[in-house]
Chain A
């Protein structure tokens, strides 16, 4: 069992992570929020690596959250109706069901990912972990990029199916 000393990690890395995130041209507010989210993920994530990998874990998570932020902004820009775009992102009062991840949920998500058929998982991991495009994934796996795309769609659909049934059974969350 990995049991990280979150307080020490926080003191050691918070400032560095904010600097790191800010280099991606993000406001201080946003950078701080992303770093906050990064540390909360540490607390809620069931599958932490050993603590000696903490630094790379923290940087990778923060980096993923930054990428997610920019992707969200990009997608929102396609939607013409501003109200609707607003609905797509966490709104003023993101209800816990919408944005919060409980430890159990993250565990279920981890399970869903771990039990994906190998060829689907490979595509998902390359896109998520390395931010690769379908062309790059296709090259790496020796498959047409269209196949990589189809597998991604399938992977997302399967994960969602697995996640859904237990959605409403979380224990009392305040």
Chain B
């Protein structure tokens, strides 16, 4: 056995230590002791985790590069004028899929399922949710995505866990959207109590509340029909910024939408999108807003000023 871990070196910064650990684990010849030491190192300090993630990122970034020869290859931009300077390559969408989730929808899919306790749940595109039991009642954890719940009051309490908080219903219709580390609770009928740590708020019909990992936002009035139009196969945008519209469209179709220029992203858009035909939406917008929209395969749409 080669004990690379015995090699002397000055690995005094998180960055140097991260490079050391990455190189050691890459080979696969590390010992059980090395693994435990690594686990201790990475659990000890968030800076270590960050540094390790950065090395990992460099490594995975290099997977598509031309390493075979050192000759410099053409440097001109892929498209005229360096347009794609800020293009994104999305990475590991699949990691979103909680392997143990009980319910999941694929991108573009909508599905209604029956949950224990007489709750009907409609999952929006790209959503993962698991059944959980706790507090002596039925509940679910929403890992990612958006779900509309129809909870018949005669069946007892029901809760939804997401973003570190809990939404409690004693019967009613409500929607919970969990994206990033924020959740938004939108109530259509009756009310929902949202608890986050020792903070609590009541959300009544036609109101919504957004909370993050440690803060409950204010309760605000919303147009439920517009906000929850996805249930009827539509997305409704009323004077919303193109950047926000793109983010929502991305939830419903495969691929990335890249907007070049902040002023373009701030353009106001009003439209109704048929969820079965999202693909044609952006090209159709092009004419109306004098934007240039390029679609490369199904996976990449680039929007910029015409």
Q: Mark A residues whose CB is within 8 Å of B.
A: 1-3, 6-7, 10, 27, 29-30, 32-34, 36-49, 61, 64-65, 68-69, 71-72, 74-75, 78-81, 84, 87-96, 98-107, 109-110, 113-114, 121, 124-125, 127-129, 133-135, 145-146, 149-150, 152-154, 156-157, 159-161, 163-164, 170-174
Given contacts A45-B64, A171-B85, contact A134 B29 (CB under 8 A): yes
The reply on B72 being an interface residue by CB < 8 A is yes
Which residues of B are in contact with A by a Cβ distance under 8 Å?
A: 2, 4, 7, 9, 11, 15-16, 18-20, 22-29, 35-36, 38-39, 42-43, 49, 52-68, 70, 72-78, 84-97, 106, 143-144, 178-181, 243, 246, 254-256, 258-262, 265, 296-300
Question: Which chain A residue shows the least CB distance to B6?
Answer: A146
Q: Given contacts A40-B300, A92-B180, are A49 and B73 in contact (CB under 8 A)?
A: yes
Q: Is B97 within 8 A of A29, CB to CB?
A: yes
CA distance A38 to B85 in the complex (A): 18
The distance in angstroms between the C-alpha atoms of A37 and B180, with both chains bound, is 20
A12 to B215, CA, bound (A): 49
Q: Are A89 and B49 in contact (CB under 8 A)?
A: no
* B144 near A92: Cβ-Cβ < 8 Å: yes
Given A114-B72, A128-B67, A174 and B258 contact (CB-CB distance below 8 Å) = yes
Q: In this complex, what residue of A is CB-closest to B179? A: A93
CB distance from A66 to the nearest CB of B (A): 10
Chain A contacts of B35 at CB under 8 A?
78
Contacts known (A79-B42, A80-B43, A109-B61); A41 close to B27, Cβ less than 8 A: no
- Interface majority SS on A: helix, strand, loop or mixed? helix
Q: Residues of A contacting B180 with CB < 8 Å?
A: 92-93, 95
A78–B143 CA distance with the chains assembled, in angstroms: 24
Q: Please, which residues of chain B bring their CB within 8 A of the CB of A68?
A: 59-60, 63
Chain A residues whose C-beta falls within 8 Å of the C-beta of B29 in the assembled complex = 133-135
Tell me whether A78 and B67 are in contact in the complex, defined as CB-CB below 8 angstroms, given that A88-B49, A114-B72 are known contacts: no
Q: Let me know if B89 and A89 touch, CB within 8 A.
A: no
Q: Which residues of A contact B76 (CB under 8 A)?
A: 1
Q: How far is the CB of A157 from chain B (nearest CB, A)?
A: 4
Closest A residue by C-beta to B32 = A78
User: If A3-B78, A103-B78 touch, does A149 touch B7 (CB 8 Å cutoff)?
Assistant: yes
List the 4 closest pairs (A to B, CB-CB), nearest first.
A99-B91, A64-B63, A41-B64, A93-B180
Of the candidates B16, B19, B181, B297, the one whose C-beta lies within 8 Å of that of A7 is: B297
Query: Contacts A33-B92, A40-B299; is A160 near B54 (CB within 8 Å)?
Result: yes
B4-A37 in contact (CB<8A): no
Cβ-defined contact, A94 with B95, below 8 A: yes
Residues in A with CB closer than 8 Å to B256 are 40
A101 touches B28 (CB 8 A): no
Complex A-B: 10 CB contacts under 8 Å: A3-B78, A10-B299, A29-B94, A37-B93, A45-B64, A79-B43, A94-B95, A109-B58, A109-B62, A174-B243
Partner of A100 from B38, B43, B56, B90 at Cβ < 8 Å: B90
Q: Tell me the nearest residue of chain B to A2, going by C-beta.
A: B74
Structural contact, B67 and A105, CB atoms closer than 8 A: no
Please tell me which one of the listed residues B56, B74, B90, B91 contacts residue A1 in the complex, with CB atoms under 8 A apart: B74
A160 touches B19 (CB 8 A): yes
Closest chain A residue, CB of each to CB of B34 = A78
A100 and B62 in contact, given A7-B296, A40-B300, A134-B2 (Cβ under 8 angstroms): no
Distance of A174 Cα from B92 Cα, bound (Å) = 18
Q: How far is the CA of A69 from the CA of B64 in the complex (A)?
A: 14
Knowing A7-B297, A84-B42, A103-B85, the reply to whether A114 touches B70 (Cβ < 8 A) is: yes
B86 touches A172 (CB 8 A): yes
Tell me the bound Cα distance from A48 to B65 in angstroms.
8
**Cα distance A10–B84 in the bound complex, in angstroms:** 19
* Complexed CA–CA distance, A38 and B90 (Å): 10
Report the minimum CB–CB distance from B147 to chain A (whole Å).
Answer: 15
Q: Find out whether the CB atom of A150 lies under 8 angstroms from the CB atom of B73.
A: no
Q: In whole angstroms, how far apart are the Cα atoms of A41 and B2 in the complex?
A: 35
